[in-house]
Amino acid sequence: MKLVCSQSSLSANLSLVSRAVSSRPSHPVLANILLIADEALQQVKLSAFDLSLGIQTSFPADVVTGGKLTLPAKLLTDIVSRLPEGDITLEDGNDEATNAADTNFLTTLTCASGRYQVRGMSAEEFPELPVVEEGEVAHLSVESLIEGLRSSLFSASSDETKQVLTGVHLTMQADGLEFAATDGHRLTVVQTVNADAIEGGAKPLDPEKALDVTIPAKALQELAKMLERQTVSNVAVHFDHSQVVFEWTDQRLTSRLLEGQYPNYRQLVPRQFSRQITAERRLLLSALERIAVLADQKNNIVKLTLDSTSQLLTLSVDAQDVGSGKETIPAQITGDDLDVAFNVKYLMDGLKAIATTEIQIQLNTATSPAIVTPLGSIKMTYLVMPVQVRGN
């Protein structure tokens, strides 16, 4: 194998696939990146796979002799990222004349200033990235995907024991995608409009075959990052009962699906509310951030006092022995006055994930779920449970 490529494309593509390299690989080859140099296509394909998440990317290169091998991900990425801009030659130890393979998989990287040799491993040992051949295909709008992921990912659980809750649930509906994420304490549901429908868009949706999967949040975080750097407007999604593959131009992300029934979240969202607050998002968020300094000393509880007569929302915290705080902001409030307490971190998380100038909080009582929604933007519902406080 021998190829010449630019430092910038090799470096960018290495750091891209590196995200799928396990930090504690269960097999030595999984600490490596698979490199396939295709002489006919004059391109290089890099793959990394931690047995759950897989990332593949291709870029043009001057491939003198095709071939494949695996190279240590961290070492190669660290060296290449520090090289000056310019051409890099990669060559393995296989002897073309005698067709003798180098069993050390010693690969030589040459650039203007120097020469590095790195020990690789056989490409044969590298596991194939999952392929979905028999499953369904959907086409999703990149804009909707990014929007839905960015608004929902923060609500997924980071506690690995919570299994299905460590993912985001994606449902394809008649005219869009629905994203849901919950860690058991709060829930985000986002509905986005999807320009395209299931392949062969004219057919009515077959509910048996529609997209209805739970994908690990970690894979979707990588997907969102990759898509944000793309100029494509659509991605193809292939899925069956255990795997999902997102695919576009030169890149591919595969992920296992999370097994188990996702909670029936739609029934958790109340349909009617007796109280409503409309407030400026930034004003409310920065007041909560100050209140959080004191709440952090105690139990993270902030008390909201709704006063519809004065049209003022008061936030207060009482951290005994340390101090207390009170902030008042103007708000449009309808419904009877009420004191209701929340975990201040959950409220802040929701407000940070929203981009609009104004938000709306709707609720019924101090013990029933409240929902936060952006005003005049995507359809997002953020549900939080109030906290029960003595004397409430």
Edge to edge, what strands does the sheet with 370-374 contain?
212-216, 167-173, 176-182, 186-193, 379-384, 370-374, 358-363, 275-280, 332-334
The whole-angstrom distance between residue 170's C-alpha and the CA centroid of its chain comes to: 12
Positions 267 through 286 that interact with its own copies (CB under 8 A): 286
- Closest to its own copies by CB, 288 or 361: 288
Compute φ and ψ for 284, nearest 5 degrees: -65, -45
Q: CA–CA separation, 392 vs 340, rounded Å?
A: 7
Residue 33 found at the interface with its own copies (CB under 8 A):
no
Least distance between its own copies and beta carbon 359 (Å): 17
In the complex, what is the shortest distance from the CB of residue 249 to its own copies, in angstroms, rounded to a whole number? 31
Q: Is 23 in the site for its own copies (CB under 8 A)?
A: no
**Residue 324 interacts with its own copies (CB under 8 A): yes or no:** yes
Complex with its own copies: residue 223 or 288, whichever CB lies closer: 288
The reply to whether 290 sits near its own copies by the rule CB under 8 A is yes
CB of 128 to its own copies, least distance (A): 27
Q: Smaller CB distance to its own copies: residue 26 or 324? A: 324
| 293 touches its own copies by CB under 8 A | yes
User: What's the CA angle centered on 303, arms 322 and 287, to 5 degrees?
Assistant: 80
Buried b / exposed e over 328-356, threshold 16 CB at 10 Å, is: ebebebeeeebebbbbbbbbbbbbebbee
Interface with its own copies, residue 113, by CB under 8 A: yes
User: Which of these ranges, 49-57, 78-86, 174-182, 300-308, lies near its own copies under the rule CB under 8 A?
Assistant: 78-86
Cα separation, 262 vs 256, whole angstroms: 15
Hey, what are 49's tokens? 């796979």
Eight-class DSSP state of 100 = B
Q: Considering the rule CB under 8 A, would residue 204 count as an interface residue with its own copies?
A: no
103 forms part of the interface with its own copies (CB under 8 A): no
The answer to whether the beta carbons of residues 96 and 60 sit under 8 Å apart is no
- Our finding on whether 347 is near its own copies (CB under 8 A) is no
- Does 289 bind its own copies (CB under 8 A)? Our answer is yes
Binding site for its own copies (CB under 8 A): 72, 75, 78-79, 82-84, 106, 113-119, 286-287, 289-290, 293-294, 297, 315, 321-329
